[in-house]
Chain A
Amino acid sequence: MPVSETKLLMKYADEPGYTPGIESYLAVGGYEMLKKAVGMKPEDIRGEVKASGLRGRGGAGFPCGVKWDLVDRKSGKPIYLICNCDESEPGTFKDRQLVHKDPHQLIEGMMISAFANDVKFAVIYIREEMPKGAKILDAAIDEARARGFVGSNICGTGFSCELIVHRGAGAYICGEETGLIESLEGKRAYPRIKPPYFPAVLGLYNCPTIVNNVETLCNVVHILRMGAAEYCKIGRPNNTGTRLWCVSGHVQRPGYYEVAGITMGQLLYDLCGGPLPGRSFKAIVPGGGSMKILRYDEKFKGKKPDGAAYEYGVDDIPLDFDGVAAAGSMSGSAGMMVMDDSVDILEALANLMQFYAHESCGQCTPCREGSQWARKITARMCSSNAKPGDLDTLYDMAGNIGGRTVCPMGFSTTWPVQSYIDKFRDEIEAKARDNRCGMPREARLIQK
């Protein structure tokens, strides 16, 4: 039987007549959870979020409740909350939906989170490339302030928290939380070394700071509404709640789908309609451009509860954090890019290397130089000018970036290079050997 979506965050947003205005949100019970929250003990809210098992939706999947637990509450310094809406990972477009269609859900989630963590100043850091989103949020905050849900004396309880929108300026690195904090302090967005200085202890202005993704903060509203126990029933243990999967590329119905407890095959076929007519799937990048690629025809080894081994394919991968990780990649930011048999995998890699070379912040030599090197080699190979040993150089060089930089973004170059070569070495080698250029001009993936 075909699967359907499990709508929690987008339950109302796509309904006809639903607008980003506060009246729409109030009509469906909006801000009731904030009213409930301000009557609770902050530690009880934190307890619910922790018990819900909510994992951060930005990329790494770190448990939200544990992140909140790490906050230094005894320093005497103010605690800050930052919503990371600097959605720049190739393939990801969920923040745009949540912000454009239901901004008050995010504001309510942030205000509940602020109350739970004794935050008096919160920021939504939004991409410069989403100017309308910033305006929608500004207007929504004004509406919420006028109703007493933001600002002074929230819901008449004496709790106050300011919320502002801060616009980025086109840097992918601001998706990394410490780069974002530097940028918010009015500096270049160079990530900070961690450990030891995690934002929970030394973040914005060297004060304890929580940085959460848009989707994560929206979930807080629903955890409070449903209760942690009920929320845990959605999805699988350790992978609770729904996830907004963004599917782009070669499927019949690309778009965003809010799902829980389904497989990759169910998403690709039942919801996205399968491959384009006459085509077949070749490769899937499951969680945004930096994640390791999966060959559509590859097999994985699993173990049943009784210990018996079995083999499964891409279609059977459980579509959640642990399921995708067990297949050797990561669900990351849930931006799934699908490539069919028309794609030259080398060109796809060259396209991504162009992106990561452009977006390296330049602080660390391995990432700054390595990503440029990767861009040049892959572009050269795509222009039928491959040199002997190019592929080995590329592979070896990538291995010297990840883990040798201040922030984890070094892996954004490493993982695609290594996984594309691991999975498609024969194809890439043949093209390099024959100095063949891959895709027809109208479908090319890099500048020629």
Chain B
Amino acid sequence: MNLKPETLSTIEKIIPRYPQKRSALMMVLHEIQADQGHISDEAMEWVATKLEIQPINVLEVVTFFPSYRRQKLGRCWVRVCRTLSCGLMGAYTTGEVLEKELGCKMGHTTEDGSLTLEWSECLAACGTGPVALVDEDLFENMTPDKLGPVIAEIKKRAAGGVPTPTKG
């Protein structure tokens, strides 16, 4: 597993912050996912050794929390909120337009690995719905008439124009 040196260094700093090593598990997984785009079997074994727990202890956490992925995420990760407040403001129409314009079905990653588009449950920005989280950035009031610049930004990121520092 080829983690970047800065990822390794961050992980080394994270672990001693906790009174017990195992507590660092979620934060370490976030770092690995940001580095690799997913959590591989190899990564889980590496983390288990690092935190002195069993690989099954890592697997149970990875499979429980929806933000951890065992399949590689796209370079740009788009999550569209569909819960009630966003739904009331037209989230499903927004999602439909994004699917069409981005050429990617909800819940899928494009074949070239450039984009993951999916529904998300409540993103806690209900007052400005519909909202979407594009990598780390929250886009608000995403009604179909305001989607143009958002789509352009997503396409730019998917094409690799902008680094996406955090995936998870």
Binding site for B on A (CB under 8 A): 78, 87-93, 95-96, 121, 127-132, 162, 164, 166-172, 183-189, 205, 246-250, 254-256, 285, 289, 335, 337, 339, 343, 348, 351-352, 354-355, 358-359, 361, 441-447
What are the residues of chain B within 8 A of A255 when measuring CB–CB?
127-128
* Cα–Cα distance between A186 and B85 once the two chains are bound (Å): 32
What are the residues of chain A within 8 A of B51 when measuring CB–CB?
186
CB atoms of A93 and B23 under 8 A apart = no
B87: Cβ under 8 A from any A Cβ: yes
Given contacts A185-B22, A188-B64, contact A130 B85 (CB under 8 A): no
Binding site for A on B (CB under 8 A): 17-20, 22-27, 29-30, 51, 53, 57, 60-61, 64-68, 79, 82-85, 87-90, 92-93, 120-129, 133, 136-138, 166, 168
* Cα–Cα distance between A240 and B168 once the two chains are bound (Å): 38
CB atoms of B92 and A445 under 8 A apart = yes
24 chain-A/chain-B pairs, Cβ below 8 angstroms = A88-B121, A128-B65, A129-B123, A132-B137, A166-B27, A168-B65, A169-B65, A169-B66, A171-B64, A171-B66, A186-B23, A205-B20, A254-B126, A254-B128, A285-B84, A289-B84, A337-B84, A337-B85, A337-B88, A355-B83, A361-B64, A442-B93, A446-B87, A447-B82
What are the residues of chain B within 8 A of A162 when measuring CB–CB?
17
- Chain B residue nearest in CB terms to A165: B27
What are the residues of chain A within 8 A of B79 when measuring CB–CB?
129
* Closest chain B CB from A165 CB (angstroms): 9
CB atoms of B92 and A444 under 8 A apart = yes
* Cα–Cα distance between A171 and B65 once the two chains are bound (Å): 6
CB atoms of B88 and A247 under 8 A apart = no
What are the residues of chain B within 8 A of A166 when measuring CB–CB?
23, 26-27
CB atoms of B84 and A445 under 8 A apart = yes
* Closest chain B CB from A151 CB (angstroms): 12
CB atoms of A170 and B65 under 8 A apart = yes
CB atoms of A132 and B138 under 8 A apart = yes
* Cα–Cα distance between A87 and B83 once the two chains are bound (Å): 14
* Cα–Cα distance between A383 and B84 once the two chains are bound (Å): 18
What are the residues of chain A within 8 A of B85 when measuring CB–CB?
90-91, 248-249, 337
- Chain B residue nearest in CB terms to A255: B127
CB atoms of A131 and B136 under 8 A apart = yes
* Cα–Cα distance between A335 and B60 once the two chains are bound (Å): 32
What are the residues of chain B within 8 A of A441 when measuring CB–CB?
93
What are the residues of chain B within 8 A of A167 when measuring CB–CB?
26-27, 30
- Chain A residue nearest in CB terms to B106: A447
Q: What 17 new A-B contacts, CB under 8 Å, besides A189-B64, A248-B127?
A: A88-B124, A90-B122, A96-B125, A127-B124, A129-B124, A166-B23, A167-B27, A168-B26, A169-B65, A169-B168, A171-B64, A186-B23, A189-B65, A254-B126, A351-B84, A351-B87, A354-B82
B61, B87, B133 — which one has the most chain A CB atoms within 10 A of its CB?
B87
